[in-house]
Structure 1
Amino acid sequence: MTVRVERDEASGVAVVALDREHRHNAIDLATAAELIETWREFRHAEDVRAVVLTGAGTAAFCTGIDRGVTVAQPTSPYSVDDPLLSIGPKANDLWKPVVAAVNGMACGGAFYLLGESEFIISSSTATYFDPHTTYGMVSAYEAVYMAQRMPFGEVARMSLMGTAERLSARRAYEIGLVSELAAPEELLPAALRAAQTLAGYPTEAVQGTVRALWSAKQAALQQALAQAPALITLGNLPPERQAELFAGRRRAPDPRVR
């Protein structure tokens, strides 16, 4: 199992933790399948009324898709088989509130999960960045999800600057991506406090409010996501060239944190 789930029936809160600390909680196909199963099961679980989503350890919340994952892609520029497209709660029709507790690095494919969480509580030592352009890949789905949560100039800079820069937790809080900062040891307690409050309210009202909030942005989000497959097919370097760039990452200078 690469997704650890802990339920507290008394409070109605479940903690979902990506549990691949040795891989910076990168998502492989097994993890993707476990996330999908977890969200869909929660739809029917009356003892789960709110969720905290986090990553094991302190080095990373999630670093996106595991580079070892290989997926055969269609030849059409209008189709992309992206194993991360269905890993979020909203993609699985779960409208119970999800509070993300971010520790360490959150980058690339982590934004599929953060993009479908209600709000983010961040460790003060966390950083946020999008490595796609550095490795010859189009940031399409990730950029679209973050454009729903960040000022345009900020998400444009993060998406385009690749691994050269990282967004500090403080800056993420200042621009509204993060709703609360916590010391690393206080991160999970802070997220649990918020989730326990939500779980204590009538669940029909909470879920209805979550659904109403998402209806305000869903049309624009779906329209933007529909453009992603063609943009990825047109803009991505061949996989072998991406691998060369990725292999050379350790020779790059340390990123600037702003």
Structure 2
Amino acid sequence: MTSAVRLTADKNTGVAVVTLDRPDRLNAVDLTMRDQLREVWREVRFDDSVRAVVLTGAGERAFCTGLDRDAVVPQPSSPYMADDPLLRVGPKSNDLWKPVIAAVRGMACGGAFYLLGESDFLVADTTATFFDPHTTYGMVSAYESVLMALRMPYGEVARMMLMGTAERISAQRAHDIGLVSELTAPGEALAAATSRAAVIAGHPPEGVQGTVRALWAAREQAIAAGFAQAPHLIALGNLPGERQAELFTARRPAFRTR
């Protein structure tokens, strides 16, 4: 089976790089990638030689464009038992408390926010753009909105989620509002993130991991409360799948970047 996720580790620095490796699909997450990500987080969790992680996407066009449109996700008939395929795709939801730095190049949208929302901070190059297509295609942005509402000012995340595909946040704007902590020249985000990870990996891991856990503790109650509402909001607000597909097929490429 072809690997959709690459894991490389530098035993000298203690830094592992996790790469989403479906560049021909803009690193969209299919069910194979989802399962492999969960396996990778578990592997990193038990490898004491890894003390910090960088998460990135292969290719120049995208970090990740969310759930692959071709992924078949069976759903129970009851709205009380909705199955979100990306809900356990990130490091924190897999009980990994080693620091994770996201290195973003190109597009990051939709389901990518499950991964960015569980990263500890973001480094992006100037080609990075951020947007959420859900509303354009008749879908509720629930889990993504909850995660991003804790990383961005409310008005900024509301605008991004509600504008859909009509507008993208530039790397500069993302840096200005605090979503991105460091901005680099094109193609340099991975090197910068790896350099920051190496510094963190050089600190005693007990203190680092305890700090990561404490930082997440400040957010997880709000996340849990938001996530509790998400299945019902999605069940009520999502258009039928065939109507979503029609809107997706009829999409227009025009958008503005701010």
Fold conserved between structures, TM > 0.5: yes
- Equivalent-residue separation in structure 2 for 1:20 and 1:186 (angstroms): 20
Residue of structure 2 equivalent to 1:88: 90
- Equivalent-residue separation in structure 1 for 2:72 and 2:137 (angstroms): 16
Residue of structure 2 equivalent to 1:117: 119
- Equivalent-residue separation in structure 2 for 1:185 and 1:25 (angstroms): 17
- Equivalent-residue separation in structure 1 for 2:256 and 2:246 (angstroms): 23
Residue 16 of structure 1 aligns to a residue whose secondary structure is: strand
Matched, 1:182 2:179: no
Q: What letter is aligned with 1:65?
A: L
Residue of structure 1 equivalent to 2:19: 17
- TM-score, normalization by structure 2: 0.98
Residue of structure 2 equivalent to 1:162: 164
What are the residue-to-residue correspondences of 1:56-95 with 2, within 5 Å? 56-95=58-97
How far does residue 253 in structure 1 lie from its aligned partner after superposition? 4.7
How far does residue 156 in structure 1 lie from its aligned partner after superposition? 0.3
How far does residue 77 in structure 1 lie from its aligned partner after superposition? 1.9
Q: What letter is aligned with 1:84?
A: L
Q: What letter is aligned with 2:20?
A: L
Q: What letter is aligned with 2:65?
A: T
CA deviation digits over 1:104-130, x for unaligned, max 9?
Answer: 000000000000000000111110000
- Equivalent-residue separation in structure 2 for 1:214 and 1:187 (angstroms): 24
- Equivalent-residue separation in structure 2 for 1:159 and 1:73 (angstroms): 24
How far does residue 185 in structure 1 lie from its aligned partner after superposition? 2.5
Gaps of 5+ in 1: none
- Equivalent-residue separation in structure 1 for 2:180 and 2:187 (angstroms): 17
How many residues are treated as equivalent by the alignment?
A: 256
Residue 79 of structure 2 aligns to a residue whose secondary structure is: coil
How far does residue 71 in structure 1 lie from its aligned partner after superposition? 1.1
How far does residue 206 in structure 1 lie from its aligned partner after superposition? 0.1
Residue of structure 2 equivalent to 1:256: 256
Gaps of 5+ in 2: none
CA deviation digits over 1:159-197, x for unaligned, max 9?
Answer: 000000000000000000000000123211100111000
C-alpha contact (below 8 Å) 2:54/2:197 kept by paired residues: yes
- TM-score, normalization by structure 1: 0.98
